[in-house]
Amino acid sequence: MKKSISLRGFSAYRLWAQLPSLETSHLPDVIMFAAGIAMFYGVVTVGRGWFGPFTPSVEISLRPWALPAYAGYSLLRITVAYLLSLAFALAYGYIAAYNLRAERFMIPLLDVLQSIPVLVFLPPVMLAMVALFPGRQLGVELGAILLIFTGQVWNMAFSFYASLKSIPKEMRETATIYRFSAWQRFTQMELPFSAIGLVWNSMMSVAGGWFALMVCEMFVLGSRDFRLPGLGSYLQTAASAGDTASIVWGIATMVTVIVLLDQFVWRPVIAWAEKFKVEQVESTDAPGSWVLNFLQHSTGLSRIRQKTWRPLSERFLLHFARKHIADKPEEPTAPWREWVVRVLAVLALIGIGYGMVRVTIILSGLQKAELHEAALGLGATFLRVNLALLLAALWTIPAGVAIGSNPRLARIAQPLAQIAASVPATALLPVILLVLIRLGGGLGIASIVVLLLGTQWYVLFNVIAGAMAIPTDLKECCSVFRMRGIERWKKLILPGIFPYLITGMVTASGGAWNASIVAEYFNFKGQIYTTIGLGASISRATDSGDFRLLMLATIMISATVVTVNRLVWRKLYRLAETRFRLET
């Protein structure tokens, strides 16, 4: 007689216990291999189109099933632009932080460049790329990537520069005692110390890249119509046609891509960057990522690190360390090198002088009424920019501190902030404008709302980074001494986030001037809504081809930004470097 197996015993038998665990299975390796093959196929497919012949006036389909391909094109452009931005930010910030002579010119130049609207960069960049690659789609693609680059790079450069200037003195002394080479200081001290700020500003830069897509993927230069398949051109086409359903589909696709990026890129990077936090007591509630845990259990990636990356990095460190320890006497600078530098400086001054003369000749043809209008526009835009900064600071500082101090809240708020920062203001402006018109407002109030949408995220992301960088031992010390409320804000939170807050305010100011071209001049369903401001002047000058007015407005913005930098931001940066530096 056969024995029957009891159902209770069968249920107690755990089938999943017999399956291989994540540590011993090859599932991570299989998934990583498949993802690598898929990415390679996508890059090859896009590369064929980029190196193919130029296709003028591409037809942008508003059908929903075209959105996955458009999202892939846009994501690739943003990724390439981000890699270029990261390399530029590291090089520019390093030189500006350690070369005092160059710093006097590089930081004001950075202020000017971040305040110049993308529309001003658009004609020279695009025409230069098209001329460099005539008859090839690559020229237009590189032009769009460089324009996205101009919307991503500045806040990253400011963040890295500010981090280098605020490295504690004892860390530099330790590097000097152990005779670190320049490469060792960069990889083992400077880059790790700036990691948290760079990560959060990278998130903001990518969000700014989505914001810039509306301008970079679809534009007109004279009689030539440049269109690139992507989410930006899709949303711009839908907004011009007043197709609300297509706008919703486009924004939904963008939100989906942003959420996936948050899960598979930014959250693992944030969890990884936590190990670079300067503290003596480890945090008990550090951010985590299931993707990072998944990758750490990949035996294939572990073997690649052990066989290639680790030996290569060790060889680099040994090479530069031995070269530095050799202590070779410095050779005197050759006289011919000094003469070359002097000749180049003289040629640069001659070029600058010639350019100033040509600009003066061009601007001399402006009428008194145009100058008066530009002056009024400067005052109006200046007030809107500063009002937007004030409104942004009022809510982003407490919200950023709350998010940065609570990893559980950050897991929820971080993707929401990325989504909100990435949605283009031009996609929301029709809704904002229609609501305000019905309430009795107009573009005068709507412009401030749009400026706020384009600037508040710079402050929020930097405040979050600053709150996350506050050492755990300082927090515990304040808890031991029962510092709460206003006293905790005065002695811990505000001093801890101050360098990051200044970086956020500086980049937000430049972003506000840049966003004024969208906030003060908008074309919806064939009707133009405009208000007084330099942003409206730049948009009108671009549409009509008035190069003199475009140049005048750009010069006025640049002069205003440099003046504010000298009077306000430069002094606050020095205060952050001296009084609020994290050191004993």
Q: For the chain, what are the domain ranges?
A: 58-278+365-578, 289-326
What average pLDDT does this structure show over 274-302? Answer: 68
* Cβ neighbours for 408, distance < 8 A, ≥ 6 positions apart: 285
b (16+ CB within 10 A) / e for 373-403: bbeebbebbbebbeebbebbbeebbebbbeb
b (16+ CB within 10 A) / e for 484-518: eeeebbeebbebbbbbbbbbbbbbbbbbbbbbbbb
pLDDT value for 172: 87
Lowest mean pLDDT among 91-105, 133-147, 481-495: 133-147
DSSP element (H, E) containing 530: strand 527-530
Instruction: Name the pTM for this structure.
Output: 0.75
pLDDT value for 221: 65
What average pLDDT does this structure show over 237-256? Answer: 82
Q: Considering Cα of 296, then 297, then 300, then 303, what sign does the dihedral take?
A: positive
Separation CA 212–CA 206 (nearest Å): 10
Lowest mean pLDDT among 315-329, 382-396, 405-419, 561-575: 315-329
Statement: residue 320 has pLDDT above 60: yes
What average pLDDT does this structure show over 93-105? Answer: 87
- The pairing of strands 218-221 and 224-227 is antiparallel
Decide if 115 contacts 561 (C-beta within 8 A): yes
pLDDT value for 426: 58
Residue 510 vs residue 500, higher pLDDT: 500
For 58, phi and psi rounded to 5 degrees? -65, 135
Question: pLDDT above 70 covers what percent of the chain?
Answer: 76
Helices (H) and strands (E) in the chain, counts: 27, 4
Other C-beta atoms lying within 10 Å of the C-beta of residue 67: 21
Decide if 546 contacts 552 (C-beta within 8 A): no
* Mean pLDDT, the chain, integer: 78
Statement: residue 557 has pLDDT above 70: yes
* Cβ neighbours for 282, distance < 8 A, ≥ 6 positions apart: 472
DSSP element (H, E) containing 417: helix 407-422
Q: Sorting pLDDT into bands at 50, 70 and 90, what band is 276?
A: confident
Lowest mean pLDDT among 32-41, 79-88, 220-229, 324-333: 324-333
Separation CA 422–CA 19 (nearest Å): 42
Statement: residue 394 has pLDDT above 90: yes
- Per residue in 103-141, pLDDT (tens digit) is 888 888 887 787 776 666 777 777 777 777 777 777 888
Q: Sorting pLDDT into bands at 50, 70 and 90, what band is 526?
A: low
Task: Please give the CATH topology (third level) of the domain spanning 58-278+365-578.
Answer: MetI-like fold (1.10.3720)
